[in-house]
Amino acid sequence: MTVTIYLVVGLPGAGKTTRAKELENSESALRLTPDDWQLAIFRGDDSRRWRSKDRADQRDRIEGKLVAVGMRAAQLGINVVFDFGLWGKDERSALRWIAGTLGVHAQVVYLPINFEEQRRRITSRYETEPGQFQMSDAELKQWHVQFQAPDQAELRDTEIPPVPPGHATWSQWASQRWPSLHDQYGPTT
Cβ atoms 97, 159 nearer than 8 A: no
Task: Work out how many domains the chain is built from and give that number.
Answer: 1
Please report whether residue 189 resides in a domain: no
Q: What is the pLDDT of residues 147-169, one digit of tens each?
A: 999 999 999 988 899 999 999 99
Query: 3-class SS at 175?
Result: helix
Q: What is the pLDDT of residues 41-98, one digit of tens each?
A: 776 665 555 566 666 678 888 999 999 999 999 999 999 999 999 999 999 999 999 9
Please report whether residue 185 resides in a domain: no
Please report whether residue 186 resides in a domain: no
Please report whether residue 104 resides in a domain: yes
Please report whether residue 187 resides in a domain: no
Please state, in angstroms and rounded to a whole number, the distance separating the CA atoms of residues 90 and 106: 14
Please report whether residue 138 resides in a domain: yes
**Residue 28 sits in which domain range?**
4-177
Higher pLDDT pick, 187 / 141: 141
Please report whether residue 183 resides in a domain: no
CATH of the domain at 118: 3.40.50.300
Please state, in angstroms and rounded to a whole number, the distance separating the CA atoms of residues 63 and 55: 12
- Enter the DSSP assignment of 161: P
